[in-house]
């Protein structure tokens, strides 16, 4: 036993944690048939849940994020509003959202995106850990008072101050407002400046000087921590997502949400649990540092789903190459290229499918 998903006593294992543990023998058997040079269960990096990190480990992660926000941007020629290395990642997400959501590339591209961000924290800001994830179920009943959002030492900050607002009024996803909506005034990101966007805001935010959202538009980080959105991220939803959807098309469709049916997915629910600006903006959401913990959990859920049938699911992609097939495009394949713009080279999708040996062996990680 590798100790994966070993939670602190006040967070007992949920059904998804247990499923992950029970699935590890499948991964071990697959690796015995398909050895990956230098990547074994024992050698793989272990990404941990936020509350399973010590306070010192959480603070080290936060310090690395703040460090990245203080480094000069590489993307300023394409995104004049990008002022830091952190903004580089926001800019790339804005640029590539129409290609990498509700399309073939959603899951593999975000796997690459999160890994590259983790790599930047480690190589540019001396971070010695790995990207933590946010187990939605642990905090779903009371997210604002969780170790993520209570504003205490070792948290990712707090809710925003209360400002009257209408909540999320995106077609298909009406949601009552929470008790925030204003600037975050507590925690490590209380002085953070959001520079890019908005593109598709869920709050009334000063418009960007460029129609593409890539101009300079400095403002405070705003959050509206929302228990109504969190209610669709409990373990039963995630467990059903993994166990009841055997084809990648349905797994991804249910995960991302079905606005035409007014059905939320855990992807949508996680983003709007944070909500505000920029977390509530489909394009600019990486501008809130919570994005990375949320999408690490998205990647974890995909990893658990893949382990149920590795021979098939490590090679299973679906959908077309454009968001909701607008404009119409051909179906994507494992041989299509996916990259991070100026930040990282294009690679074939097949290189992003496995956490154990993908990206030429650079991917070698599990979720603990």
Pure H helices in 106-166 = 106-124, 136-139
Q: Report whether 99 contacts 323 (CB < 8 A).
A: yes
Domain annotation covers residue 151: yes
229 domain-assigned: yes
Is there a domain that residue 305 lies in? Answer: yes
d(Cα 62, Cα 366) in Å, to the nearest integer?
21
Q: Is residue 3 part of a domain?
A: no
Among residues 139, 125, 152, 161, the alpha carbon closest in space to that of 293 is found at: 139
Cα separation, 360 vs 357, in Å, equals 6
Number of structural domains the chain divides into = 1
The two tokens of residue 29 are 């058997």
Residue 20's pLDDT is: 98
Name every residue whose Cβ is closer than 8 Å to that of residue 115 and which is 6 or more positions away in sequence. 131, 359, 362, 363, 365
What is the pTM (predicted TM-score) of this model? 0.96
pLDDT tens digit string along 221-264? 999 999 999 999 999 999 999 999 999 999 999 999 987 778 88
| Alpha helices for the chain (secondary structure H) | 15-33, 55-69, 85-100, 106-124, 136-139, 227-230, 235-244, 248-256, 266-274, 290-307, 310-313
327 burial level (CB within 10 Å; 0-12, 13-18, 19+)? exposed
Q: In terms of residue numbers, what domain contains 218?
A: 15-367
Encode burial over 35-46: b for 16+ CB neighbours within 10 A, e otherwise. Answer: ebeebeeeebbe
Whole-angstrom CA distances from 209 to 213, 266, 284, 302 are: 7, 32, 15, 37
CA angle in degrees (0–180, nearest 5) for 140-145-149: 90
| Residue 2 domain flag | no
Query: Which CATH number do you get for residue 32?
Result: 1.10.1280.10
The model's pLDDT over 19-52, given as tens digits with 9 standing for 90+, comes to: 999 999 999 999 999 999 889 999 999 999 999 9
Instruction: Report how far residue 249's alpha carbon sits from residue 235's, in angstroms, rounded to the nearest whole number.
Output: 21
- Per-residue pLDDT band at 175 (split at 50, 70, 90): confident
Nearest to 301 by CA among 254, 259, 364, 260: 254
Domain assignment present for residue 243? The answer is yes
The pLDDT tens digits for 112-165 are 999 999 999 999 999 999 999 999 999 999 999 999 999 999 999 999 999 998
User: How far is the C-alpha of 226 from the C-alpha of 229, rounded, in Å?
Assistant: 6
């Amino acid at each position: 036993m590798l100790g994966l998903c070993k939670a602190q006593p006040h967070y007992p294992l949920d059904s998804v944690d247990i499923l992950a543990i029970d699935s590890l023998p499948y991964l071990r058997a697959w690796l015995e048939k398909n050895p990956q040079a230098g990547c074994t269960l024992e050698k793989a990096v272990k990404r941990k849940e936020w509350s399973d990190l010590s306070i010192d480990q959480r603070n080290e992660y936060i310090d690395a994020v703040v460090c990245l926000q203080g480094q000069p941007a590489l993307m300023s020629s394409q995104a004049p509003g990008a002022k830091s290395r952190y903004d580089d990642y926001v800019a790339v997400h804005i640029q590539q959202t129409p290609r990498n959501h509700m399309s073939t590339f959603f899951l593999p591209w975000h796997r690459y995106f999160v890994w590259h961000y983790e790599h930047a924290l480690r190589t540019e800001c001396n971070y010695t850990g790995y990207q933590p994830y946010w187990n939605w179920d642990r905090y779903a009943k009371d997210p604002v008072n969780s170790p993520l959002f209570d504003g205490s030492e070792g948290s990712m900050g707090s809710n925003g101050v209360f400002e009257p607002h209408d909540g999320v009024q995106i077609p298909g996803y009406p949601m009552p407002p929470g008790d925030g909506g204003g600037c975050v005034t507590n925690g490590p990101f209380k002085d953070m400046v959001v520079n890019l966007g908005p593109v598709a805001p869920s709050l009334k935010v000063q418009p960007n000087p460029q129609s593409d959202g890539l101009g300079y538009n400095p403002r405070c980080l705003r959050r509206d921590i929302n228990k109504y959105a969190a209610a669709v991220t409990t373990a039963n939803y995630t467990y059903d997502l993994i166990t009841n959807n055997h084809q990648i098309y349905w797994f991804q469709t249910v995960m991302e949400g079905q606005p035409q049916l007014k059905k939320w997915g855990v992807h949508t629910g996680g983003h709007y649990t944070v909500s505000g600006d920029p977390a509530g903006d489909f394009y600019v959401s990486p501008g809130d540092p919570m994005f990375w913990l949320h999408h690490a959990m998205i990647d974890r859920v995909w990893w658990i789903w893949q382990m149920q049938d590795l021979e098939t699911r490590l090679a299973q992609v679906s959908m077309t190459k454009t968001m909701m097939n607008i404009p119409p495009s051909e179906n994507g394949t494992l041989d299509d290229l996916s990259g991070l713009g100026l930040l990282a080279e294009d690679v074939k999708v097949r290189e992003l499918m496995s956490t154990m040996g993908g990206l030429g062996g650079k991917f070698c990680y599990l979720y603990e």
